[in-house]
Amino acid sequence: MSCIGWYILAIVAFPTILMLVDAYIGYKRGGSELRGISGFRRAIIALTVILILGIAVFHLLANNTDTNSRAVVNNILSMLAGLVAAIAGFYFGGRFTEKRAEEAERRVREVEERERAREAVENSSKTKRGDEE
């Protein structure tokens, strides 16, 4: 198999194996939805893009290039570096939003529990008053 074939195999096999592991974990947890590890898929996408960049850099450094193609190589690496920056921004921005949403859900549950407890206390005090009369 050629060098490029190995690169493509690595780029395809890496996220595929990790996604299958995540799906298996979600299957084992049960439930109606296949929920794997929280944020794992987003991390797989980010790591795959970084893997692509790493393979591109390795290939370009391992193979001798003439001076005419160095400009093309620099342009390609600049585009890939910009892509990595965009993916990293999406990843960390999404994590922040996800944590905020989880915190908001937790607060809503706490307020609902307090309301239920307050209503239960009010109902029990009403029934005690009714029993005393």
Question: What's this model's pTM, rounded to 2 decimal places?
Answer: 0.50
Cα 119 off chain centre by: 40
Lookup: tokens for 125: 């005090």
CA dist list (Å): 63 to 6, 58, 73: 15, 8, 12
pLDDT tens by residue, 97-107: 777 888 888 89
Domain count across the chain: 1
**Domain with 74 in it:** 3-132
Give, to the nearest 10 degrees, the angle between helix 40-62 and helix 3-29.
Answer: 170
pLDDT tens by residue, 57-86: 777 777 766 666 777 777 877 887 788 788
